[in-house]
Structure 1
Amino acid sequence: MTNQDPPRIGDLLRSAASRATPLVRDIDDASLGAPTPCAEYDVRALLNHLLGVVVHFQALAAKQAADLDSTKDWLAEAAWRDRFEIEAGKLVEAWSVPGAEEGTTGGMGMPARTVGSMVLLDLTVHAWDLARATGRSFAPDPAVVEGLVEEVERMAPMARKMSVFGEAVDLPADATAFERLLATTGRDPRAWETREV
């Protein structure tokens, strides 16, 4: 049996963006104050975080520094839904450039593939957060989940130390691969299944 190269981050991001974009576009203004599975974020704050991530990780793909501490209010723009779609497209392009996932990133000094996995995780998990917060279901591409499992397990201890992930949640044996991924980040997917919005 031969070892296959892992899927390219750009390809996985293209799939993740194609599922996140319509979900973001359909969020109405009345839902912006709703709580999300990210305890510190309501829908508006989470959208602001996600838009910032999608923009700033374009620079990281090009081995440039990025202002990850920016507190810009992206939703102050009337066309923020369009902006998200445009920037998600640029993110996919940036990580699809040959060499983007090789070497280390500017500023963060981490393996580029790990950094690409971080934005892939944000785009996937926060799409689920937003879906659940607004009473919708969300199913990521299984290839994206498979592409994230190993990286997320590897980054989990440091992410917990930095309070990026919560403590892992125990799930029953019939949990799906995506539910297990969510649980590794500290989310309880089953607790949000029946939540009324």
Structure 2
Amino acid sequence: MAVDFDLGPAADRMAGLLEAVPRDRLTAPTPCAHYALGDLIQHVDGLSLAFTAAATKAAPAPGTPQGPSGNAAALGDDWRTRIPVQLAALADAWRDPAAWEGTTRAGGVELPAAVAARVTLDELIVHGWDIARATGQPFDCGEPELRACLEFVSRFAPGPDGSPAPEGLFAPAVDVPADAPLLDRVIGLTGRDPAWTAA
């Protein structure tokens, strides 16, 4: 199967955001309502390992979360240098066409590998935006990435007749104008307010 998109730009962007996180901000709120900033960074730590294993079809490394992660106490002191290395390995793993073939596992769930790649892109873009907003950093994302992410998250938005979102991966969508920028539309569909700012 062909590689539909390169995760490198999203992984590099996330690494840059993490490297610039102020040391005194780990308890700050984020647009992801259940996570303080340190919790969210630990979630990124876990997903970088889990989705690398998903790409290689390998058993997750010992200690890799098998379900939702998000506990700043488990982050470790070397996160600022360690997670960017993991993100680079993640992007590299998904550059192999074999990563996109067949099925794989992530977070204890079996799913088509191509879907796992889209989940990975969504996680990197949406949580990258979360971290940028929580720390007052700019966030700029390319249109091809955003279109792939919008196509994915649109599957989980409530139906036009008001029917609930399938499998409820996200909080209820926030209404965003139809002509809003692509990033705002993605963010709104994941249950976040595109106008959210840190207090």
Range class of TM-score, shorter chain? 0.7 to 0.9
Counterpart CA distance in 2 for 1:142 and 1:185 is 18
Question: Per the alignment, in what secondary structure is the counterpart of residue 105 of structure 1?
Answer: strand
Equivalences for residues 23-172 of structure 1 within 5 A? 23-66=17-60, 67-69=65-67, 73-76=73-76, 78-106=77-105, 108-156=109-157, 164-172=169-177
Counterparts of 1:110 and 1:102, CA distance in 2 = 11
Shift of 1:59: 0.7
TM-score normalised over the length of structure 2:
0.83
CA contact (8 A) 2:30 2:198 kept: no
Cα deviation for residue 132 of structure 1 reads 0.5
Structure 1 gap ranges (5+)? none
Paired residues of 1:51 and 1:74 also in contact (CA < 8 A)? no
Structure-2 residue corresponding to 1:184? 189
Distance 2:2 2:156 in 1: 18
Percent identical among aligned pairs is 38
Cα distance in 2, alignment partners of residues 172 and 156 from structure 1: 15
Displacement after TM superposition at 1:19 (Å):
1.3
After superposition, the Cα gap between the structure-2 partners of 1:7 and 1:184, relative to the gap in structure 1 and judged at 3 Å, is farther
Deviations 1:29-69 (A, max 9, x none): 20101000011000000000011001111111122344422
Q: Which runs of 4+ in 1 moved over 4 A?
A: 70-74, 159-163
RMSD: 2.4
Deviation of 1:108 (Å): 2.6
The CA deviation string for residues 120-146 of structure 1, in whole angstroms up to 9 with x for no partner, is: 111111010011111222111211101
Give the total of aligned pairs: 186
Q: When the two structures are superposed, what TM-score results if normalisation uses the length of structure 1?
A: 0.84
Shift of 1:6: 8.2
Does the C-alpha gap of structure 1 residues 70 and 7 become closer, same or farther in structure 2, counting only changes over 3 Å? closer
Q: Say which structure is richer in strand.
A: 2
Give the 3-state SS of the residue equivalent to 2:97 in structure 1.
coil
The residue identity in structure 2 corresponding to 1:150 is E
